[in-house]
Structure 1
Amino acid sequence: MRAVQYRTIGSGPEVVDVPTPEPGPGEVRLRVTAAGLCHSDWFVMDLPEEQYAYGLPLTLGHEGAGVVDALGDGVSGVAVGDAVAVYGPWGCGLCHACARGAENYCPRAAGLGIAPPGLGAPGALAEYLIVDDVRHLVPLGDLDPVASVSLTDAGLTPYHAIVSSLDALPAGSTAVVIGAGGLGHVGIQVLRAITGARVVALDISDEKLDLAREVGAHEVLRSDESAVEAIRSMTGGVGAQAVFDFVGAPPTLEISRRTVALDGVVQIVGIGGGVLPTGFFSTPFGASVRAPYWGTRTEFMEVLDLARTGAVHVEVERYGMDQAVEAYRRLHAGEVRGRAVVVPGE
């Protein structure tokens, strides 16, 4: 089968031929119908050798959807032909976190060598994908896999961050979204769907600010020094009750620090390398700073339910397998509108 792999430290992705995997006991094989690309893939590929810990060669792709193709011994609950999406942050399945569906916070996974697909385990950017357990499959129903696959991360991650901040976002509150790209443009829609907040979107790209308006932002601002004063002005000097930083770079974290309100919350979702100091002489009294990771299985089901109602959608650029390297180049250059999705059959 063909797959998109990272094979050499310091090099980019490659399209290669590899053996088609067979499911072992308890495993499920999917014929992949769609696989999403993510900036975190480039984060992994940009790591120096001494920091890289994902194994080589690595089949990329932690956003996956497919049709059940083969079942390992002992598998029940799904049937060949079922259309499913893959819940990515795999845990041990036995601890307190996993028991409540929060496998994204499993404390045992790393020690047991359990890794998400595309981030240690072979990923979805291939014609076939092995999923370790049926609990990591969620029915897609009549949802289009190409339109929906990015919800496995670009939908779930902002949803998780926003749900954990709901107490800060009653009617009349203000939420700031920094970065209106792949995750941010979905975060804006989630905020509009489940909160009463006024949504202010920031970006350095006019095209992404246009996208932010299209998907429901009440206000859009350039992500620069002027944004702080503008947000303070529109909130009567109070600031934003919640700031969702989908970039995570030092300049955007500084905007987050200076715009969050007293007793507000900053959610650092992006992995742009910034660090935000907190304390009496940095962040406002009562403000919390959180670095959320992915989301729970229950939250993933809720995101798909929002998509079914039309409340949330992902702007998608579609590519064939042979175009995957170019798709990654465009992603790295900031040229993708929304998310890039590879369709292996094309």
Structure 2
Amino acid sequence: MRAVQVVGYHRNLELTEVPVPEPAGPWDVIVKIGGAGVCRTDLHILEGQWADKSGVELPYTIGHENAGWVHAVGSAVTNVAEGDKVILHPLVTCGLCRACRSGDDVHCESSAFPGIDTNGGYAEYLRTSARSVVRIDDSLEPADVAALADAGLTAYHAAAKAARRLTPRDRVVVIGAGGLGHIGIQVLKALTPAELIVVDRNPDAVKLAVSIGADHGVVAEGDHVDDVLALTGGHGAEVVVDFVGEGGATAEGVRMLRRAGDYHVVGYGEDVVVPTIDIISTEINIVGNLVGSYNDLCDLMVLAARGAVRLHTAKYALDDFQTAIDDLDGGRVRGRAILIP
């Protein structure tokens, strides 16, 4: 089968032929890939940022946002069958550790991460686990939802956590309306009655945010913190969800926050620098967000089937992987780029 592999850091990916994976254990599931999301993390992998953390041996197949059809299953698999349409939770988890038993499987003590530390989905087939596959509604197509497996799941996880404290009297600010942000906006509109303010440097991204449910769109042109404060009566928002996390967004996000508010960090790239006396005197909370759990993915797919969450995509043939990578790196992708074998 065709597979796009990392052959060296600071080098371009290469398309090659590798054997089709087969079930090696009773819980294995082989998925015929219908769509694989192209994520900014993939760029970081090529830059070598994940080399030490993942410990992966090169070459290997990249791609951690995957959906498709069940091709083959191990002897113990009963939750899916050949031909089922599925989306894949990005982790292969053990099911036995404390985190898995608690439903917090993203913190599994013995997990594998296809596309990060083992072979992923920039290919025609992928091996995963019965614990990782979620059957999707007949109305959904793998290529249309593949990026919900990570980008969407991360956005859902953060938005769902934020929504727990929001009431109709509250305001929530979303920083960044790109690949993750445009999903988070839709999830927040589905889960909370709070007033939603979206901030982005790109006027077109702000227009998109308003079209999918934002109550206010603010273009980050220099006065955007003051604009947000004006929209919140000078107090700031009860919740800020930052999908950017770099370029000064963290300092601005804290400034947009109301006393006793929650600042959710999703995007990353710079430090959050807040004097401890300010954290104490205003009693703000700084909340980290990783990818969501299997149950989060199940909930997200229900919203997708209802039409409450729609992924904006740009689709590329698998052979055009380099164009997709270049477009993402150059800021030319609106929503998420998807590779289709």
TM-score scaled by length of structure 2: 0.94
Percentage of identical aligned residues? 36
What is the CA distance between 1:278 and its match in structure 2? 5.6
1:66-107 Cα deviation digits (max 9, x unpaired): 11111223333221111111011333311222113221122x
* Residue number among 146, 151, 162 corresponding to 2:148 in the alignment: 151
Alignment partner of 2:100: what SS? helix
Superposed, which structure 2 residues align to 1:113-152 within 5 Å? 114-131=111-128, 133-142=129-138, 143-152=140-149
* Number of the residue aligned with 2:314: 317
Q: For the residues of structure 2 that align with 1:47 and 1:228, how far apart are their CA atoms?
A: 35
Q: Single out whichever of 122-131 and 209-218 deviates more from structure 2.
A: 209-218
Task: Tell me the amino acid that sits aligned with residue 87 of structure 1.
Answer: H
Q: Single out whichever of 120-129 and 272-281 deviates more from structure 2.
A: 272-281
Structure 1 residues 226 and 342 mapped into 2: Cα distance closer, same or farther (>3 Å)? same
Task: Tell me the amino acid that sits aligned with residue 137 of structure 1.
Answer: V
Q: For the residues of structure 2 that align with 1:265 and 1:48, how far apart are their CA atoms?
A: 29
2:43 is aligned with 1:47 = no
What is the CA distance between 1:283 and its match in structure 2? 7.5
Structure 1 residues 165 and 200 mapped into 2: Cα distance closer, same or farther (>3 Å)? same
The alignment of Structure 1 onto Structure 2 pairs a total of residues equal to 338
Q: For the residues of structure 2 that align with 1:71 and 1:295, how far apart are their CA atoms?
A: 25
* Number of the residue aligned with 1:341: 338
What is the CA distance between 1:275 and its match in structure 2? 3.1
Q: Is the 8 A contact 2:3 2:61 kept in 1?
A: yes
Structure 1 residues 138 and 230 mapped into 2: Cα distance closer, same or farther (>3 Å)? same
What is the CA distance between 1:167 and its match in structure 2? 3.5
Q: Is the 8 A contact 2:279 2:285 kept in 1?
A: no
- Where do 5+ consecutive residues of structure 2 fail to align? none
1:117-160 Cα deviation digits (max 9, x unpaired): 111121111000000x2011100131111111111122211111
* Number of the residue aligned with 2:75: 73
Q: Single out whichever of 309-318 and 88-97 deviates more from structure 2.
A: 88-97
Q: Single out whichever of 203-212 and 230-239 deviates more from structure 2.
A: 203-212
Structure 1 residues 324 and 2 mapped into 2: Cα distance closer, same or farther (>3 Å)? same
Task: Tell me the amino acid that sits aligned with residue 16 of structure 2.
Answer: V
What is the CA distance between 1:250 and its match in structure 2? 4.5
Superposed, which structure 2 residues align to 1:186-197 within 5 Å? 186-197=183-194
1:236-276 Cα deviation digits (max 9, x unpaired): 11101111111111400011111111111111111223334
- Where do 5+ consecutive residues of structure 1 fail to align? none
TM-score scaled by length of structure 1: 0.93
Q: Single out whichever of 271-280 and 74-83 deviates more from structure 2.
A: 271-280
1:253-305 Cα deviation digits (max 9, x unpaired): 01111111111111111122333436223576221111111111111111010
Give the CA RMSD over aligned residues: 1.8
Structure 1 residues 278 and 100 mapped into 2: Cα distance closer, same or farther (>3 Å)? farther
Q: For the residues of structure 1 that align with 2:258 and 2:44, how far apart are their CA atoms?
A: 31
